[in-house]
Structure 1
Amino acid sequence: MGFLELLGSMLSEGLMITVVTTVLSALLALILGFIVGLLRLSKNKLIRFIVGIYVEVFRGTSLLVQLFWIYFVLPMFGITMSALTAAVLTIGLNYGAYASEVVRSGIESVDQGQYEAGIALNFTRWQRMRRIILPQAIVIMIPNLGNQLIELFKSTSLVSLITLTDLTYQADVLNATTLQTTEIYTALLIIYFLLAWPLTKGMAILERKLTEGRM
Structure 2
Amino acid sequence: MELIVEFYPLLVKGTLLTIELTVVSAVIALAISFIVGLARLSRHWIVRTLALIYLEFFRGTSALVQMFFMFYVLPLLGISLSPFLAGVIACGFNLGSYGSEVVRGAIKSVGKGQSEAAHSLNYTSYQRYRYVLIPQAVPMMIPPFGNLLIELMKLTALTSLITLSDLTFAAQIIRSQTAMTLEPFLLILVIYFLIASVLVGFTDWLAKSIAKRRGMTPVRTN
TM-score, normalized by length of structure 1?
0.96
Q: 1:39 maps to which residue?
A: 39
Instruction: Trace 1:2-81 onto structure 2 (pairs within 5 A).
Output: 3-81=3-81
Unmatched segments (≥5 aa) in structure 2: 218-222
Summarize the Cα distance change of 1:214–1:4 in structure 2 as closer, same or farther, 3 Å threshold. Answer: closer
Structure 2 CA distance, aligned partners of 1:75 and 1:99? Answer: 29
Structure 2 CA distance, aligned partners of 1:3 and 1:125? Answer: 58
Instruction: Trace 1:196-207 onto structure 2 (pairs within 5 A).
Output: 196-207=196-207
Percent pairwise identity: 45
Aligned length: 214
Residues 147-180 of structure 1 show CA distances to partners (whole Å, capped at 9, x for unaligned) of 1111001110110011111110011011110022
Residue identity opposite 2:136 in structure 1: Q
Structure 2 CA distance, aligned partners of 1:194 and 1:210? Answer: 25
C-alpha displacement of 1:121: 2.1
Q: 1:150 maps to which residue?
A: 150
Structure 1 CA distance, aligned partners of 2:126 and 2:173? Answer: 52
C-alpha displacement of 1:77: 0.7
Residues 92-114 of structure 1 show CA distances to partners (whole Å, capped at 9, x for unaligned) of 11111111111011100101010
| Alignment RMSD | 1.1
Structure 1 CA distance, aligned partners of 2:173 and 2:50? Answer: 42
Residues 113-154 of structure 1 show CA distances to partners (whole Å, capped at 9, x for unaligned) of 101111222222211111111111111111111111110011
The 3-state SS of whatever aligns with 1:134 is: helix
Q: 1:180 maps to which residue?
A: 180
Structure 1 CA distance, aligned partners of 2:169 and 2:18? Answer: 10
C-alpha displacement of 1:70: 0.9
Structure 2 CA distance, aligned partners of 1:4 and 1:149? Answer: 27
Q: 1:214 maps to which residue?
A: 216
Unmatched segments (≥5 aa) in structure 1: none
